[in-house]
């Protein structure tokens, strides 16, 4: 158990010392004068509309946010953003080459990482290098499915039960309806959760090479429209998403099953290579991993790992993935053991990697180029990208745990971040 002073009370007392109660109350009071004039909403992206948006803003940062490259490519942003005024520039680095021996990813991958955090690319790079020097990691896509969970409200538990009994007989019809909305996705399963007079469906879809959030939403809406029209039980309310899917949230449901792509990677690293690349022994790695695993358990994290979110966020931004999906994608487990040869066995398992190689932001010019740098843009490549993600994160775990185990963690950040 841990205890601490009430920081909230200290903060409030400090505010009172610096200002009067009346002044603090005035600052928190709603203010209606002058009225806020909303910006004119604009969904389409083209030169004319971007200029109109800038006319409503202060012009000073325009040259940097709407630079020559952005102005030239502005119409390629259409369908990816609203109220567009330009683009931001995030530094882009590369790690690797990372050798992956996967069911789908086969080869040496230079991995693009977009970040402003010093030491991040360096850490993933040295992890990728030790993996490649060990012959590469083995990676396996285990399963893939994406869910959407509509919710229904009835007058009573009895009505909710009648609805479930009817709906389960309609599954093939639901599949047929979903297939009319996409040629890439398919409804493969459906589960139900009853909570009083509420019913939550959990529709599971395959989504081809797209990440698929919009795909499954549109398919689910068509099914819900059919249910509203045909259900023999009166539905009081219907919502296309009842917040059971785990969309953009870390959830025990996604952790124990799958959301997106479930993938695993492993590598065996000799004692000599560990000492050469990471300056640690296998024993140091396992000892620190054991302590950090217990720390993760004591803090209640979903899974136990060092920093999956770092590599995923940088790769997602670089390759046009939905960056918010790092919330569910960065769950998982890292495991280290001494292997039979006295080296290190290392493995990562990620149950919810949300990636695609078509659709969404993957078609934007820079993001498309990053995927092409890996040879993974377009149809037929999303499974390989998921396996590369696992290999990348395995490298990141090796590097950060080595830095912490050897005492180099602070030293590296002082050197690279200052």
C-alpha distances (whole Å) from 257 to each of 135, 332, 375 are 30, 11, 29
Catalytic hit among 159, 204, 241, 322? 322
Q: DSSP characters for 166-222? A: HHHTTHHHHHHHHHTT-SS-EEEEEEEEEETTEEEEEEEEE-TTB--HHHHHHHHHH
270: three-class secondary structure by DSSP: coil
| Residue 142 tokens, joined | 């285990």
What is the Cα 394 distance to its own chain's centre? Answer: 16
Helices (H), 202-307: 213-230, 252-256, 271-273, 282-299
Report yes or no: 363 and 371 within 8 Å, Cβ to Cβ.
no
Strand 344-353, strand 106-114: pairing: unpaired
413 is catalytic: yes
11 is catalytic: no
Report yes or no: 279 and 408 within 8 Å, Cβ to Cβ.
yes
Q: Please state, as a whole number, how many other Cβ atoms lie within 10 Å of the Cβ of residue 3.
A: 4
Q: Cis link prior to 34 (omega < 30° from 0)? A: yes
Q: Which of 333, 332, 283, 267 is nearest to 130 (CA)?
A: 267
Distance from C-alpha of 409 to C-alpha of 278, rounded to nearest angstrom? 12
Report yes or no: 256 and 324 within 8 Å, Cβ to Cβ.
no
Catalytic hit among 75, 117, 287, 337? 117
Q: Which residues are part of the catalytic machinery?
A: 117, 322, 413
């Amino acid at each position: 158990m841990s205890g601490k002073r009430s920081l909230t009370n200290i903060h409030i007392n400090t505010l009172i010392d610096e200002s009067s109660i009346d002044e603090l109350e005035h600052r928190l009071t709603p203010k209606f004068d002058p009225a806020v004039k909303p910006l004119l909403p604009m969904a389409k992206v083209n030169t004319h509309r971007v200029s109109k948006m800038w006319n409503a803003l202060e012009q000073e940062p325009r040259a940097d946010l709407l630079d020559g490259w952005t102005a030239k490519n502005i119409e390629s942003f259409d369908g990816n953003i609203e109220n567009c005024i330009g683009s931001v520039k995030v530094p882009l680095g590369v790690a690797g080459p990372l050798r992956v021996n996967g069911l789908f990813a086969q080869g040496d991958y230079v991995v693009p990482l977009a970040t402003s955090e010093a030491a991040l690319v360096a850490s993933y790079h040295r992890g990728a290098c030790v993996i490649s020097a060990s012959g590469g990691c083995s990676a396996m896509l285990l399963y893939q499915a994406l869910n959407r969970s509509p919710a229904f409200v009835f007058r009573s538990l009895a009505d909710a039960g009648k609805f479930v009994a009817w709906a389960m007989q309609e599954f093939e019809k639901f599949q047929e309806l979903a297939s009319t909305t996409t040629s890439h996705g398919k409804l493969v399963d459906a589960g139900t959760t009853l909570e009083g007079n509420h019913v939550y469906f959990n529709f599971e879809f395959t989504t081809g090479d797209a990440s698929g959030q919009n795909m499954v939403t549109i398919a689910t809406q068509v099914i819900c429209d059919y249910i509203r029209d045909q259900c023999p039980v009166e539905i009081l309310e219907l919502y296309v998403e009842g917040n059971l899917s785990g969309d953009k949230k870390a959830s025990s449901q996604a952790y124990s099953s799958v959301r997106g792509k479930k993938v695993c990677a492993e590598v065996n690293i000799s004692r000599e290579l560990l000492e050469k690349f990471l300056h640690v022994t296998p024993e140091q790695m396992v000892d620190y991993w054991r302590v950090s695993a217990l720390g993760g358990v004591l803090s209640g994290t979903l899974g136990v790992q060092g920093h999956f979110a770092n590599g995923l966020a940088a790769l997602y931004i670089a390759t046009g993935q939905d960056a918010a999906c790092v919330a569910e994608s960065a769950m998982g487990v890292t495991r280290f053991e001494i292997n039979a040869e006295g080296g290190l066995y290392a493995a990562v398992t990620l149950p919810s990697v949300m990636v695609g190689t078509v659709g969404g932001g993957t078609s934007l010019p820079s993001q498309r180029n990053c995927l092409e740098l890996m040879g993974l843009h377009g149809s037929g490549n999303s499974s390989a990208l998921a396996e590369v993600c696992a290999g990348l994160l395995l490298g990141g775990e090796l590097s950060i745990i080595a830095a912490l185990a050897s005492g180099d963690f602070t030293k590296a950040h002082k050197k690279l971040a200052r």
